Amino acid sequence: MPRPLLLRAALAINAVAAFAAGVMLFVAPGTIPAMVGIPLDRSQFFIAYLLAASELGLSVAAALALKASRDAVRVAVASLVVMHVASGVGGTLALDQGASYVILWNVLARVAIVALLIGGWIAMPVAPMTLRRSDQRNAERLP
Q: Would you say the C-alpha torsion 83, 13, 115, 60 has a positive or negative sign?
A: negative
Number of residues that this document lists for the chain:
143
CA distance 140 to 134: 10
Phi, psi angle pair for 17, to nearest 5°: -65, -45
pLDDT in tens, 3-34: 688 899 999 999 999 999 999 999 999 999 99
Going along the chain, which residue ranges are E strands? none
Q: Where are the domains of the chain?
A: 5-141
- What was the pLDDT predicted at 136? 58
**pTM given for the model:** 0.81
pLDDT in tens, 42-89: 999 999 999 999 999 999 999 999 988 888 888 999 999 999 999 999
Contacting residues for 135 by C-beta, under 8 A, at least 6 apart: none
Contacting residues for 11 by C-beta, under 8 A, at least 6 apart: 3, 62, 63, 65, 66, 76, 77, 80, 117, 120
